[in-house]
Chain A
Amino acid sequence: MGTLTEEIFSRKLGREVKAGEIVWVELDRIMSHDTMSWLAIEAMRKVSNELGIEAKPKFPERIVIPFDHILPPANIDQAKMQRNIMNFIKEHKLPHFFQEGVCHQIMIEKGFVQPGNIIIGSDSHTCSYGALGAFGTGMGSTDVGIAYATGRTWFRVPESILINVTGEFQEGVYAKDLILKIIATLGVDGATYKSLEFRGDAITRMSIPERITLCNMAIECGAKAGLIEADEKTVEYLQGRTTENVDINNNGIIKANNGNYEQTFNFNISELEPQIACPHDLDNLKPINEVEGLELHQVFIGTCTNGRYEDLEIAANILRGKRVNRFTRTIVIPASTEVFQKANESGFIKIFQDAGCIVCNPGCGPCIGRHQGTMASGEVALTTMNRNFKGRMGSPEAEIYLGSPAVCAASAIEGKITDPRKRREE
């Protein structure tokens, strides 16, 4: 008996586990990306040395290293760091190394995330994996390095908050609008140390990409994980994506079982409107009509939050046959090579390029302000990212607004924040 979080830990440890317990767990996967792997490798060496064990990954096949944060490297230090990591990968024959998209998209689309898994990653948005019923959480490089060396880590099993979602989206309203609303309602530290468990008929109807958008942003209200029970859609999504340890039909599907929830929040999405998170925190949320008309210097569609095929499809349908404002730098970055190729086959990439968008290679792009759209003082951006923190995309005097791919696409055409529902009526 327990929350989905407790049930996942109970299944893993083969005994009943309750929130609040400190447990040691052998991890199913350990993910680290280009900017954090080197510190993790150093931590692995240090802990191995201290423990008197050979300094090498205990389970090479469980480690996944996607380069994405600065891909390809934008300066000499970064190139050197990535080369060092590649030498480590080569030395230890780590089988799972990728340079083809955002780490979380790679983890999910290549089948490294399965229902019931417990996974840590060197990135706070590792909570995305809850979309497939896996407990994923972000940790620092010392924890990741220790996990490289020992295959294990410790958790304080979190209490859960139930997010019950009913109703149906109006046209032009999406999962991104919902998660922005949820975060602003709970507050940016409203779920610190907790699991967010999403449930309800609206969640059941959502596609896996929509569920990823929800779970991806659980960290933005402080949550340790965002979780959705796996179902037939999860099983269907994973078909053909996994070649090892496939256990998605019987044993892998874990459901919550009369768990004790610390809090419950109910959301009916039928009346929800497009939402915009305004600078410089996610609780500064406004319905779109309050910020319509704001001039934009940059629009960015992509990231682990909204860079999937379905997101690009929404944007492409708005941009088809249109041109973006010539003074609004519009950047589109598919979340992975798979997404890029599929979008290309569907003609979306041509639509974006014909519209005047800059289409970059899969990766994190300007989300961390290092390349491919670093912003100047006084510039204003609207993006599909998950964070609008001051200085995140470059100058601390730049402003970042967050919205759905539909809002971003409609706004790029006008060069100002635009309600996608109004454009459609024209």
Chain B
Amino acid sequence: MIRLLLLIFYLSIFSQVSYADTTQEINISEWSTLPIAHEGRIKPIDSFARLLLKKISGRETTSNLSASEWLAEVIFNPSQAMERKIFKASLPEVLKLEQRKNKHYSYIEIAVSIDKNKEIISQLIDAKETDWTPDQRELMRVFQNYILMTQALRSLTTILPLPLKIPENIKNNDGETTNYLALKKLEKTITERVKKIVKQKGTNLEKYSEKELQIAELSFQLKTIESGGKNNVLFKIYPENPNNNDANWLSPWEIMLNGKGSPQSAKFIREWQGMALSYQQKDGKKFNTLVKKNRELTQGYTSTIKIEKIFNYIPLKNMATGIYFILFLTIIFTSLRGIDISQYTSIISTLFNVSLATHLLLIISRIFILNRPPVGTLYESVLFVSLICALVMFIVSLKQVKEKKLTSIFIGSLSAFALLFISNGLVEDNKMATLAAVLNTNFWLSTHVIFITIGYGFCLIAGIMAHTYLFQIVKNKNSKKALQDFFKTILTISIFALLFTGIGTILGGIWADQSWGRFWGWDPKENGALLIVLWLIWLLHSRISGHLHQLGFIVGLAFINIIVILAWFGVNLLNVGLHSYGFIEGIALSIGAFCFFEIILISTLAIKAQKINRAIK
């Protein structure tokens, strides 16, 4: 409890100072485009703020502040930020918090709760994470967010003004802001004075005079702030060598405590100190000038960062998902109702193209921002595969639209929407995470992984087309010629699927040879890729040689979706082998349900289709 009170007291002392007259508003939007190093890459403060706020509160804005405005308050005015109710606690009863409708609590409330639960937390830290119950998991999630927030609140405690008075007899410079750095200059003198006082009067504070108490408090503050800042590496805003692209980025506390100071860092920190002071005094003019000055040091990073911030504000993914969904719904609804919408084919086609262009822009922006191919994580691969599906169907639609047919647009919208929707469940906090070292080699990512994911895209499209083909036979709507044309398209797409998955698998072997020293290791992911290739080879060979009739080929191809999903997501669930980089929890049930549903659906469709075919014959 004492520690908790100390912590709250420690952060409270960085309270607001008196306001100055202001004529210009503080431009947080401009400030939020300053660069910061976080999770292995340089991003705008805006992205960092969104990520941090989402992690803590589950949202990217507070009730009345944007993420950047909230972060500015956290680092420049921690005492006020501590009272803002931003901590999401889904199970307040577990955390011994009062029940509240919106389940959001302030830092101070969470600190009290953590203190009440400290014994359980320390036991959980020692226990295996896999043994935690869902309640304990929630407790630890909030605890980890509490640690994160504590770090954020302490980011600039080196330079934030302190409401303390330095006695005249030990003061160095008049007019200097009293902060940690100013106290640090006097450390030796303060320590000697405290030693002297303790020698003369002991440790009983009641015996101290007012001036002696003042000295003792300064010493206490210095030690408390310094111990609070130790290991604070969250807010890495200073590039140690800005001329170097691989510069080591440091937090203000790292500069101070790791001997990384230099005339350049001193200037940099002075500017941030000015920003903090002008933020607290609401002096927009000074704040904005200092932001501009500060940008000079990091201007090499400006262009990417500004573009990333723009994309933070444009919900490209939601826009594309929304249009795909509307198209898919419209086509399926009108088709089920028997409404003829062929006269609106061009409008539907244009909407599909707009959605595809938005989707494409999303992927291109990610390539530009992350400076690597967009297929590094499972989340990214889903985004990319959905684009491939839409692109393939766009190419097919070029011919079909002329014939006033909407099948390709329907399949494209359905597959892209479904995958984009699934991707929402795969991303936790960081949509632009940095990769594991073995993946972060642009050459191999741009060859092996891209080929294999394009292959996945072709496979899924071929699988969905096979489903559609089966539905069309069952509904017995299309003419024989139309079905034959459709079959030819499916056959072509399945050949492309084999081409890309085949080349991708071989390239993967070459990568494995260079990275791990062996071409093939029967790793689950490798086996999954091989299974897709073998399945497609079997289907295509059987069809070409005449061993498999058209319907048999289509039914076999419809099953490729199950194999792809198992190879793509399922293998990661095993958490074994060298491809466990994409490991995610909680999708086993979804995959199981999907496979079960697919087996039932395909089997039912296949039996019905065969009956119809026999009847026709």
> Do A and B come from the same complex?
no
Residues of A within 8 A of B (CB): none
Residues of B within 8 A of A (CB): none
